[in-house]
Amino acid sequence: MRSFLSIPTLLLGGLACLVSSSELTKRDSCGQWDTISAGPYTIYQNLWGKSSATSGWQCTGLDYQGGDIVSWHTSWDWQGGPGSVKSYANVGFNFNARQLSSIQHIPTTWHWSYSGSNIIADVSYDIFTSYSPGGSSAYEIMIWVAAIGGAGPISSTGSPIATVTIAGISWDLFKGPNGPTTVFSFVAHGEQTSFNADILDFFEYLIHNQGLPSSQYVSGIAAGTEPFSGSNAQLTTGEYVITIA
């Protein structure tokens, strides 16, 4: 990991949920759709599935940002609604849509850790493509660097359609629909808490083996966690970097 400079004072929104004193001192954002600007990134609270929980809360905060490096955390406690995702707290990379055929590399580094009890969640990249810049999503590509506690991806059959090795890691590949969007999910064999890869390698595999058109435009890249349930959980990203060349 790279060494960090001193962490700047956070100018974050007020709290909107009941949290412990440890979270209060971090000045986290707790609103359902709160966002935090962080250089080339935006951190999204995104509690889109909170209504499926019988109880719970989640708060998200920025720890450091400098150049292309960002570190952040999200703390949560969700109960009820088994099998339902409650949120996708994530860091989104801000860029203009790029056609896959014009991209040479998408290098990324992600160092993270998870703590808590009875956690069912994934830690994943979530990437959308479309037929034109600004068009509706045609494909969603997820890269699960961890499937914790039995979490599973969208799948038409419940079984992987392939097992592949990318970035020196074995992945099960699942395919299924999310409305009109076709979802490909790469699920790592084992938790990849220090992940270094070129995301373009995943696209190259899909183009050459699964019929993904190289004319697709990459319109969004995010990295975060989808919690199903658990207690006193926290995902901490010590370092995250992604660029497009």
* Residues that are catalytic: 140, 226
* Beta partners for residue 55, in sequence order: 79
Whole-Å CA distances, 26 to 11, 22, 62 = 11, 7, 9
DSSP 207: H
The answer for residues whose C-beta is within 8 angstroms of residue 45's C-beta and 6 or more apart is 29, 30, 31, 32, 33, 34, 35, 58, 59, 60, 74, 87, 89
Count CA atoms closer than 13 A to 73's CA, side-chain side: 17
